[in-house]
């Protein structure tokens, strides 16, 4: 054998030996890694793991691949799996796949599904509950560590506590989990699309350690940014919302604090964008999505609104049921009217205080159709912006005092008070009163937000007699009519009606009640 042939033979022999060693290592690595992975998942989730396919290769570089991974709590087939993975692949070092614990560098997951059961999965009859791991047991070495887990299309499903209710589903994009296997939980980074209002959520934080006995008690905490949420996905609203904040707690009780900014918030019935900002503190039940608002401080222009309440799911109805107690103590009526009335010019200006209960039942109708209000308000130092209306108010004040001079200047409306209720886009007022020098107006009726029509009836109470409000021949007729309009204690009580529309109100004597008093 020539020297060159001997060299070639030795090289071939070395390659064969290396290949044999690698094949031997791979054959030993596959069951070793599989056992470590299955045992680690069983221990972590107190479950049983099934794997359709699992393979470890070490040439040309160490890799792990598999398919059909299913994690079932205690092997139960009568409840959905905790975790399902379509296919997966992982990179690793040679020592990573052969050592203990098994260490994987980057794991790529395809079709990841996670189901959080409500309050843990109920045990079968007679089954003994396992104790939650102690702090000492959590410090025991894990059989599996993963530097980074990546899932580009994951789905988180949270089962409802209500029997027969479909789970809440979150589609998560670009989920990254760092440091899986650490006893104090893992860091994560994720982005997802919130369906209503529709917008992008970016979040990062820490999740775990997993509470196997009661998954809803698993710790979670972090921060979020909610960008460019389209309020038009809520029927009857408009605008683009952005929000940021922090959260901490366990899945069934997550405390959230944050801020929102909607520079163009609007209600369709008025269609007037206003700048809306809020600061809030809330508690969220991650197992059903119910949100309990402990404090909401909102601002529209220079008007401040305070609220607390709840946003909860209801049975058999799409959407959320919203209940709030609202207090408005530092506000301008012109700011608030922009939300409910069309036109750039508000009906009234002035400082206002409001207390109301707010309810928006779940459903698919426009918000303004579902919105219900029951409250009371007080408005001081108000002025009507409609020149004709303000002129009539001024003239009324002068005549009520027996002043025959031509109306000039402005008369401020004071002590504007009332109770109100909103149903089906109709705002009904009761005990509505306001005063001008020399007169008090008492009204009750309805303002329809959609067609802006007025339908009010009431009384005009004058300090002066009818004769004192006019002169000449009219004064004689007024003196004759005075007995029909006499006010107890002096002055006059005149039945009136207000109709027309917001832009063209019609004021007049209620003839029917005037001719048939009482």
pLDDT digits (tens, 9 = 90+) for 484-495: 667 777 777 778
| C-alpha to C-alpha distance for 152 and 291, rounded to whole angstroms | 28
Does residue 305 register a pLDDT over 90? Answer: yes
Q: Quick check: is 134 in a domain?
A: no
pLDDT(505) > 80: yes
Average pLDDT rounded to a whole number, residues 124-128: 42
Mean pLDDT of 325-342: 87
pLDDT tens digits for 206-242?
998 888 777 778 899 999 999 989 888 888 888 999 9
| Three-state DSSP class for residue 196 | coil
Written as six digits, the tokens of 207 are: 């999740």
Spatial contact of 450 and 424, defined as CB atoms under 8 Å apart: no
What 495-499 contacts at long range (C-beta under 8 Å, 24+ apart), as own/partner pairs, is 495/457, 495/458, 495/459, 495/460, 496/441, 496/443, 496/457, 496/458, 496/459, 496/460, 497/456, 497/457, 497/458, 498/443, 498/445, 498/454, 498/455, 498/456, 498/457, 498/458, 499/453, 499/454, 499/455, 499/456
Task: Answer whether residue 104 is part of any domain.
Answer: yes
Q: Are strands 274-284 and 439-448 parallel, antiparallel or unpaired?
A: unpaired
Tell me the per-residue pLDDT of 179-200, one tens digit each, with 9 for 90 and over: 888 888 899 999 988 877 888 8
Residue 62 counted as domain residue: yes
Cα–Cα distances (Å) from 195 to 44, 226, 424, in that order, read 32, 12, 26
Cα separation values, 116 from 1, 26, 81, 152, 286, Å: 70, 36, 10, 20, 9
Residues 6+ apart with CB under 8 A from 298: 276, 277, 278, 304, 305, 306, 307
Higher pLDDT, 479 or 36: 36
Tell me: pLDDT of 18 over 70: no
| 195 domain-assigned | no
Expressed as residue numbers, the domain containing 90 is 1-117+142-183
- For residue 308, cis peptide bond before it (omega within 30 degrees of 0): no
Is 268 within the bounds of a domain?
no
| CA dihedral over 502, 506, 512, 513, signed as positive or negative | positive
At 417, list the tokens. 């008070």
User: Is the confidence at residue 138, as pLDDT, over 90?
Assistant: no
Whole-number Å distance between alpha carbons of 100 and 144: 8
Q: Is residue 193 part of a domain?
A: no
- Computed over every residue of the chain, the mean pLDDT equals 78
Read off the pLDDT band of 15 (50, 70, 90). Answer: very low
Query: Is 156 part of a structural domain of the chain?
Result: yes
pLDDT of residue 294: 92
Q: Which of 154, 183, 212 is the last residue of a domain?
A: 183
Per-residue pLDDT at 325: 95
> What is this structure's pTM?
0.75
Inter-CA distances, 40 with 58, 67, 82, 296, 353, Å: 22, 17, 15, 44, 61
Among residues 155, 183, 211, which one ends one of the domains?
A: 183
User: Which of 134, 154, 183 is at the close of a domain?
Assistant: 183
User: Is 350 among the domain residues?
Assistant: no
Helix residue ranges, H only, 196-318: none
Domains held by the chain: number = 2
Task: Spell out the alpha helix ranges (H) of 318-468.
Answer: 333-340, 367-370, 387-400
């Amino acid at each position: 054998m020539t020297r060159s042939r001997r060299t070639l033979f030795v090289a071939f022999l070395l390659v064969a030996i290396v290949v044999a060693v690698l094949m031997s290592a791979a054959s030993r690595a596959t069951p070793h890694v599989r056992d470590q992975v299955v045992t680690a998942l069983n221990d972590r989730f107190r479950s049983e793991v099934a794997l359709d396919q699992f393979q470890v290769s070490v040439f040309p570089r160490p890799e792990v691949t598999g398919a059909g991974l299913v994690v079932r709590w205690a092997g139960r087939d009568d409840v959905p799996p905790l975790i399902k993975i379509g296919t997966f692949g992982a990179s690793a070092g040679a020592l990573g796949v052969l050592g203990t614990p098994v260490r994987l560098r980057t794991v790529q997951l395809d079709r990841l599904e996670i189901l959080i059961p409500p309050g843990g999965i109920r045990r079968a009859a007679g089954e003994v509950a396992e104790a939650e791991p102690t702090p000492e047991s959590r410090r025991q070495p894990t059989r599996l560590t993963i530097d980074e887990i990546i899932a580009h299309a994951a789905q988180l499903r949270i089962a409802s506590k209500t029997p027969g209710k479909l789970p809440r589903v979150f589609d998560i994009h670009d989920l990254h989990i760092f440091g899986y296997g650490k006893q104090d939980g893992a860091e994560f980074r994720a982005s997802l699309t919130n369906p209503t209002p529709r917008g992008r959520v970016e979040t990062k934080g820490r999740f775990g350690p997993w509470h196997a006995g009661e998954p809803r008690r698993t710790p979670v905490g972090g921060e979020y940014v909610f960008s460019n949420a389209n309020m038009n996905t809520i029927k009857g609203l408009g605008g683009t919302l952005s929000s940021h904040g922090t959260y901490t707690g366990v899945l069934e009780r997550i405390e959230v604090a944050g801020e929102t900014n909607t520079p163009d918030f609007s209600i369709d019935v008025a269609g007037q964008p206003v700048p809306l900002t809020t600061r809030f503190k809330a508690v969220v039940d991650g197992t059903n999505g119910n949100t309990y608002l402990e404090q909401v401080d909102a601002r529209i222009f220079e008007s401040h609104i305070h609220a607390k309440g709840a946003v909860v799911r209801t049975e058999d109805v799409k959407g959320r049921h919203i209940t709030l107690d609202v207090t408005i103590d530092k506000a301008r009526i012109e700011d608030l009217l922009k939300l409910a009335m069309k036109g750039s010019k508000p009906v009234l200006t002035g400082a206002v205080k409001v207390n109301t209960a707010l309810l928006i039942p779940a459903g698919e109708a426009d918000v303004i159709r579902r919105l219900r209000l029951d409250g009371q308000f007080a408005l001081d130092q108000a002025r009507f912006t409609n020149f004709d209306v303000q002129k009539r108010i001024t003239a009324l004040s002068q005549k009520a005092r027996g002043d025959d001079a031509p109306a000039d200047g402005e008369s401020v409306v004071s002590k504007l008070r009332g109770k109100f209720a909103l149903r089906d886009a109709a705002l009904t007022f009761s005990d509505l009163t306001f005063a001008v020098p020399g007169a008090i107006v008492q009204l009750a009726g309805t303002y329809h937000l959609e067609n802006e029509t007025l339908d009010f009836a009431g009384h005009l109470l004058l300090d002066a007699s009818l004769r004192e409000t006019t002169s000449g021949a009219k004064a004689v007729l007024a003196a004759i009519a005075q007995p029909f309009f006499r006010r107890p204690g002096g002055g006059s009580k005149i039945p009136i009606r207000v109709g027309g529309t917001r832009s063209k109100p019609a004021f007049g004597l209620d003839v029917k009640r005037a001719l048939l008093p009482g």
